[in-house]
Amino acid sequence: MRLELGKIHIKDIQFAAESKIEANVLYVNKEELVKAVFEDDAIESVDLDIARPGESVRITPVKDVIEPRVKVEGRGGIFPGILSKVDTVGEGRTIALKGMAVVTTGKIVGFQEGIIDMTGLGAEYTPFSKTNNLIVIAEPKEGVKQHEHEKAVRYIGFKAARYIAELARSLEPEEVEVFETKPLLEQIAEYPDLPKVGYVYMLQTQGLLHDTYVYGVDAKQIVPTILYPTEIMDGAIVSGNCVSACDKNPTYVHLNNGVIEDLYKKHGKEINFLGVIITNENVYLMDKERSSNWTAKLCRYLNLDAVIVSQEGFGNPDTDLIMNCKKIEAEKVKTVIVTDEYAGRDGASQSLADADVAADAVVTGGNANEVVVLPKLDRVIGHIDVVNVIAGGNQDSLREDGTIEVEIQAITGATNETGFGYLSTKTF
């Protein structure tokens, strides 16, 4: 598949009488956008706000972060099986609005939601302090069940991103980047002397409120399969989970997966990038064994020389990660795993809940138990009291002076396990 990804850089967001993109500024008619997304019986109210880089603004609890994209040529539309028909995507031309994001917030759904600070120490840990953020504040009706609440907010975020992206449909992108993966035998034959490399993309599927969707299907229901990398850039995978904010893959990260983009940069030069194997992270041992067996089988079937494996979450998924690693290595395929660490506040504890000697090449996104004190900011979008109950916080996190003491696992994207962040660790 060959995908042209056109980019339009958004330098500011403003509310206005007319929704449009002009001179790299996104203008939003607030009432019109609210009307376009507010059609769910589970939601009491929807409001919008704006948070720009450097402003003294804190957003919490953060549910999802989404980059607006619109498909202008080729089959299907963005978020197939969610907002668009279930056409196979990943080819043609897609326009992405860079430098901005749609961020959803409102009353907390589950305790594993996050914080985005637009300035101060917290901003140094989240990549979303650098984006111009359109905040969608969706408040649920009293008595709505958690899974209904999560779904309603998830869809509202996608609809808002679609509304914004449609404003770019007829615009000419400022730059176009081309990504191409050919049918397997053709791809192998094109670079016969380069090592064949794949990417094993582990998706969070640990249970209710821990869901990821592939073409609209809950990934708990899949067995490992192969995707063209460009399908993921068109929204074939979206987030629907409430795992710890630091290593959650928001929908924005799926669309902009750094492992995929970096493998493409080396494709045809240092490696032959053959594609992505998606797999899930299960709760029961039988399911873990099935998925890791299939993942290793697919690596062998593709006759890969090496793979990168990334996980989402920690603890229970560490077992899936290590199972994948050791079984793929047993197929004589070199493996690098990408994870983060929960090594205790002093960094002295075992980093992962599972381990194996086969896992001898590891990239880390940092220690999620690191403690920081976030300064008081002038404005909060959402509900500040949740910092005492979200993962990484405690009953004393919110201090009387307005500062917040939390582990960085409370900060959205702080230790992201696709490398979509700023932290890592090196051994010397």
Kindly list the catalytic residues. 242
- Read out DSSP for 115-171? EEESSSGGGGT-GGGSSEEEEEEEEEPTT--HHHHHHHHHHHHHHHHHHHHHTTTTS
Partners of 22 in the beta sheet?
25
Q: What would you report as the CA-atom Rg of the chain, rounded to the nearest whole angstrom?
A: 21
Residue 284, token pair as written in the block: 């029961």
Partners of 407 in the beta sheet?
371
Task: Work out whether the CA dihedral 43, 47, 50, 55 comes out positive or negative.
Answer: negative
Quick count: other Cβ atoms within 10 Å of Cβ 167?
Answer: 20
- Read out DSSP for 197-241? EEEEEEEE-SBTTEEEEETTEEGGG---EEE-HHHHHTTSEEEEE
Tell me if 345 sits within 8 A of 406, measured CB to CB: no
SS3 287: helix
Render the burial of 303-326: b for 16+ CB within 10 Å, e for the rest.
Answer: ebbbbbbbbbbbebbbbbbbbbbb
Phi-psi region of 90 (alpha: psi -120 to 50; beta: other; left: phi over 0): left
- CA angle 218-224-229, nearest 5°? 90
Task: Kindly list the strands in the beta sheet with 114-117, ordered across the sheet, starting from the edge strand earlier in the chain.
Answer: 114-117, 57-62, 379-382
Distance from C-alpha of 41 to C-alpha of 141, rounded to nearest angstrom: 8
Distance from C-alpha of 116 to C-alpha of 128, rounded to nearest angstrom: 7
Distance from C-alpha of 186 to C-alpha of 194, rounded to nearest angstrom: 14
Distance from C-alpha of 370 to C-alpha of 94, rounded to nearest angstrom: 39
Within 13 A of 413's CA, how many CA atoms are on the CB side? 28
